[in-house]
Amino acid sequence: MSREMYQIEDDPKQRKSRFSFEAHESEPEPGTVRREASIDADEVLYGDASHSGPQPEARKPESAYRGQSSRREAISEGAVPNHPGQGIGKLFVQVISSVVGVGVITATLFSLWMPASLMPGSLQKRLAEAASPNQAALLTATPEAAVLPSGFPAKKIGIVVGHKGSDSGAVCSNGLTELEVNSNVATFAQMKLIDMGYDVELLDEFDPRLKDYQAGLLLSIHADSCDYINDSATGFKVAAALSETKSENSNRLVQCIADRYAKITGLRYHYQSVTNDMTRYHAFSEIDPNTTAGIIEIGFLNLDQEILTSNPELLADGIVAGIKCYMYNEGVTDPALQP
């Protein structure tokens, strides 16, 4: 193979390659030929010549070599060097992302597992809203004034004494009955509302007067179970009648009673455990469609027994304040009710 195939000029002073780095002080050893890793046209040309036998030597124009050198220089200058620090940085970002992801999943599972009694009030409220959106919506709805037909007895209030005339309701191990608690609170509420100028009737559980009953408001008073359920089974519940004609009024009644009762008694609004037995209370389907109606369970006969038996007048104050809020279209300043 001819020496001129790798060295264009037989000059004793070797020409410096355009691809060599200026910072390198060492020169290639004599006789050693550095070849580029890439295959270009001149290598293919000479490679073909070496296999096809003796060929006349063809000297390419110097301008052609200049063009190839310029193209290689452009590629080398535009290439982005691969620094080891970049790989370390990417690995660090991946590790941080994994740790954050595991932390979020762990916190979510812990929140779902945590008992309600250990959970902060605001978080418990948010989870309860997700589980019971209809009841949570009652707390945040915009208050609207009750509108009644002309001549409707708006100043009349009916109070159903839970289980009266039917049975004793829940019976606790110490002999305390739900009917006894309901009657005491309802009587105090009646007296206070009469003092405010309202016409108030106490009604039995299945009172025949409930048929097409007309009043500005009907409220049924009950108490919750005597059995111990868990440490969270404390507080009150209130629900509105599911009425298509006056649902906005019933929702406002629930807002007002829940807000005022919680503030006056200090009991927690246990709205996440409101049942269909409350929202579909039998009297709701018997009364006049224009009568605003609701039902309240004033507390649990187990954990709340002390306040239910020793201070029924305080519980009546909370109910009366809620009724006044509704009747006078007062605002609800604290929809969350409990911290």
pLDDT per residue over 122-163, tens digit each?
Answer: 444 454 444 444 444 444 444 444 566 788 999 999 999 999
| Residues 166 and 251 occupy one common structural domain | yes
339 in Cβ contact with 122 (< 8 Å): yes
- The answer to whether residues 265 and 318 touch, using CB atoms and an 8 Å cutoff, is yes
**Residue 227 and residue 98 in one domain:** no
Strands 293-300 and 237-240: antiparallel
The answer to the question of residue 245 being in a domain is yes
| pLDDT exceeds cutoff 60 at 97 | yes
Q: Looking at residue 93, what is its pLDDT?
A: 73
**Average pLDDT, stretch 189-214?**
97
Question: Which residue, chain included where needed, has tokens 């390419």?
Answer: 60
Same domain, yes or no, for 178 and 95? no
Q: Are residues 148 and 116 in the same domain?
A: no
What are the backbone dihedrals phi and psi of residue 180, each rounded to the nearest 5 degrees, phi first? -60, -45
Greater pLDDT, 199 or 3: 199
CATH number of the domain where residue 307 is located? 3.40.630.40
Give the residue ranges of DSSP H helices in 79-210: 84-113, 121-131, 133-140, 178-195
Q: What are phi and psi of 218, to 5 degrees?
A: -130, 130
On whether residue 24 sits in a domain, the answer given is no
pLDDT at 44 over 60: no
- In this structure, the answer to whether residues 68 and 106 fall within a common structural domain is no
Q: Are 273 and 237 in contact (CB under 8 A)?
A: yes
Taking the whole predicted model, whether its pTM rises above 0.95 is answered as no
Strand, helix or coil at 66?
helix
Average pLDDT over residues 156-174: 97
Share of the chain above pLDDT 90, in %: 45
Q: Which residues, including other chains, have CB under 8 Å from residue 57's CB and lie 6 or more apart?
A: 2, 4, 5
- The Cβ of residue 168 has, within 10 Å, a number of other Cβ atoms equal to 12
CB 179 within 8 A of CB 162: yes
In a domain, 86, yes or no: no
Domain that holds residue 220: 132-327
Does the residue 25 lie in any domain? no
Residue 229 lies in a domain: yes
Cβ–Cβ under 8 Å, residues 295 and 222: yes
Angle at 170 between CA 164 and CA 173, to 5 degrees: 130
| Mean pLDDT of the residues in the chain | 74
What stretches of 7-120 show up as alpha helix (H) in DSSP? Answer: 41-51, 62-78, 84-113
Query: Are 150 and 273 part of one and the same domain?
Result: yes
What's the pLDDT at 221? Answer: 98
- 21 falls within a domain: no
Q: Is-contact 120 164, C-beta < 8 A?
A: no
pLDDT tens string 79-96: 445 555 566 777 777 777
Based on the fold, state whether residues 243 and 191 are members of the same structural domain: yes
**43 vs 305, residue with greater confidence:** 305
Residue 36: phi, psi to the nearest 5?
-75, 150
**The residue to which tokens 């073909």 are assigned:** 48
In this structure, what DSSP letter does residue 269 have? Answer: B
Does one domain contain both 138 and 126? no
Residue 330 pLDDT > 90: yes
Are 222 and 139 found together in one domain? Answer: yes
Alpha carbon of residue 195 to chain centroid: 45
User: What secondary structure letter does DSSP report for 245?
Assistant: S
Q: What is the mean pLDDT of residues 303-310?
A: 97
Number of domains in the chain: 3
The residue written with tokens 């109606």 in the block is 293
Q: For 59, which DSSP code?
A: P
Tell me the mean pLDDT in the region 315-320.
98
What order of strands is seen across the sheet that includes strand 217-224? 199-203, 156-161, 217-224, 293-300, 237-240
pLDDT of residue 211: 97
pLDDT score recorded for residue 25: 47
Q: Is the pLDDT of residue 68 over 80?
A: no
115, 55: one domain? no
- Same structural domain, 183 and 320: yes
- C-alpha triplet 162, 167, 172: angle, nearest 5°: 85
One domain for residues 106 and 232: no
Cα–Cα–Cα angle for 158, 160, 163, nearest 5°? 170
- Does 160 fall in a domain? yes
Q: Is residue 289 part of a domain?
A: yes
Distance separating alpha carbons of residues 92 and 85, to the nearest angstrom: 10
Residue type for 21, please? F
What is the spatial distance between Cα 4 and Cα 16, in angstroms, rounded to a whole number? 17
231-288 pLDDT, tens digit each:
999 999 999 876 555 567 888 999 999 999 999 999 999 888 888 888 889 999 999 9
